[in-house]
Amino acid sequence: MAGPIPLSQYIAAANAEYYAHRDPLGSAGDFTTAPEISQMFGELIGLWAADLWQRAGSPDITWVELGPGRGTLTADALRAMAQVGLTPPVHFVETSPTLRAAQKAAVPDATWHDDVATLPDDRALIVVANEFFDALPIRQLVRAGDAWRERMVACQDLLFLPIAGKDVPDSIVPEHLRDAAPGSVIETSPANVGIARAVAGRLVRQGGAALVIDYGYEGPAIGDTLQAVSGHRFANPFEEPGSRDLTAHVDFATLGAAAGMEGVRVEGPVGQGAFLTALGIEPRAEALARTSPERAEQLAADRARLTDADQMGELFKAMAWTAPDWPEPAGFA
Ligand code: SAH
């Protein structure tokens, strides 16, 4: 090994290996996500998109999902959208061959891309990203003595450990955080900013909207949110790279500012609970329970898991970006 590497490079390499060879989702995997918890999640997002599309005058659109996992969200959304006559072509941005195979089983007619650069540019886009941005690499700056230093990862035999690298200029640290206590960590994600700007730029040029849902905060702020999850438990991010999922909380303020620079309107973030409630998750759960009374208890439990403040309702947040000439998306009032 050629000496310490930046944390972002370590995360990118570990996650490429992790996602390439496994389907991490569901109860038998390492973690679960909202679309895997309940069909209501993808259906409500489909109805959100269909409502916006209708109010935009029913133009031709392409449906895009970033990091679709098993394809469940899009499959559920397509079913809901078809009920109002919206049957768009589907494009997936996904790097994992294992998950691409699962997505093909769920949405056979999709088209796949390695990144957003090759998405169609001939019509408006509706873009959805659930738990995508948290999986992209972050940089960490660590306050050491009276300087900020780039966090690096060193490798000795089979042991990986975080170390402080070169000083970085104070000017890249937000002013109100510069004098933080020794040991403080600030995170940035150039990958998040790059993809946010690329997607937002397309929305401005092509029309359309994007919906981003993830766990996160409104930064920049002091805090180390790098986490590893394995078998539904938190694990050490520096042990066994490539065999556990590495993620970080998403800085929605920075993500929204990056998108806004391109000229989109930014809505939110609002808590996932408030968002799904505004979209009607309660009547939806009740209607499903009426048609399948044997599932009533499970439906109520799933709804609570997605929306309660002490579960996914507040840590998880929703944000939308819309082209300037598109109507306001539902759920953010
Ligand atoms: N959205 C799904 C899956 C979330 S897991 C759900 O909610 O269930 C993160 C997803 O992002 C996986 O599909 C993973 O393979 C994909 N992913 C991670 N890094 C990526 C990258 N750099 N480019 C494209 N997809 C990526």
Inter-residue contact 73 to 65 (CB < 8 Å): yes
CA dist 226 → 6, 58, 236, 238 (Å): 14, 41, 10, 10
* Angstrom distance (rounded) from CA 46 to CA 66: 15
Pocket test residue of 23, 73, 95 for ligand 1, highest count of atoms within 8 A of CB: 95
According to the model, what pLDDT value does residue 21 have? 84
- Among the listed residues 238, 78, 82, 89, the one whose alpha carbon sits nearest the alpha carbon of residue 155: 238
Q: Examine residue 262 and state whether it is found in any structural domain, yes or no.
A: yes
Q: Examine residue 332 and state whether it is found in any structural domain, yes or no.
A: no
Those residues whose C-beta lies under 8 Å from the C-beta of residue 321, and which sit 6 or more positions away, are 199, 200, 203, 209, 210, 212, 256, 259, 260, 264, 265, 266, 267
> What does residue 146 show for φ and ψ, rounded to 5 degrees?
-110, 30
According to the model, what pLDDT value does residue 331 have? 98
Mean pLDDT over residues 44-73, rounded?
Answer: 98
CA of 130 to the centre of ligand 1 (A): 8
- In the chain, the number of structural domains is 1
Confidence of residue 156 (pLDDT cuts 50, 70, 90): confident
Q: What is the pairing mode between strands 147-156 and 159-168?
A: antiparallel
Locate the ligand 1 atom nearest the alpha carbon of residue 32 and give its number: 8
According to the model, what pLDDT value does residue 145 have? 87
* Mean pLDDT over the full length of the chain: 96
According to the model, what pLDDT value does residue 237 have? 96
Q: Is 24 in the pocket of ligand 1 (CB under 6 A)?
A: no
Q: Is 135 in the pocket of ligand 1 (CB under 6 A)?
A: yes
Confidence of residue 3 (pLDDT cuts 50, 70, 90): confident
Q: Examine residue 45 and state whether it is found in any structural domain, yes or no.
A: yes
Q: Examine residue 104 and state whether it is found in any structural domain, yes or no.
A: yes
* Angstrom distance (rounded) from CA 79 to CA 39: 10
Inter-residue contact 50 to 9 (CB < 8 Å): no
pLDDT(308) > 90? yes
Mean pLDDT over residues 272-284, rounded?
Answer: 98
Q: Is 130 in the pocket of ligand 1 (CB under 6 A)?
A: yes
Q: The domain containing residue 206 runs over which residues?
A: 11-135+189-279+305-322
According to the model, what pLDDT value does residue 157 have? 78
Inter-residue contact 73 to 42 (CB < 8 Å): yes
pLDDT(107) > 90? yes
- Among the listed residues 72, 76, 91, the one whose alpha carbon sits nearest the alpha carbon of residue 46: 76
Locate the ligand 1 atom nearest the alpha carbon of residue 31 and give its number: 5
Locate the ligand 1 atom nearest the alpha carbon of residue 134 and give its number: 9
pLDDT(1) > 60? no
Task: Write the DSSP string, 129-191.
Answer: EES-GGGS--EEEEEETTEEEEEEEEEETTEEEEEEEEEE-GGGS-GGGTTPPTT-EEEE-HH
Q: Could you tell me where the DSSP H helices lie in 29-153?
A: 34-37, 39-55, 72-82, 97-106
Locate the ligand 1 atom nearest the alpha carbon of residue 96 and give its number: 15
Q: Is 271 in the pocket of ligand 1 (CB under 6 A)?
A: no
Q: Examine residue 60 and state whether it is found in any structural domain, yes or no.
A: yes
CA of 160 to the centre of ligand 1 (A): 24
pLDDT(260) > 90? yes
Q: Is 312 in the pocket of ligand 1 (CB under 6 A)?
A: no
Q: Is 99 in the pocket of ligand 1 (CB under 6 A)?
A: yes
- Name the residue with tokens 């970006």: 321
The DSSP 8-state label assigned to residue 331 in this structure reads: T
Those residues whose C-beta lies under 8 Å from the C-beta of residue 217, and which sit 6 or more positions away, are 223, 225, 249, 250, 251, 252
CA of 301 to the centre of ligand 1 (A): 26
**CATH at residue 127:** 3.40.50.12710
Q: Is 258 in the pocket of ligand 1 (CB under 6 A)?
A: no
Q: Examine residue 4 and state whether it is found in any structural domain, yes or no.
A: no
pLDDT(114) > 80? yes
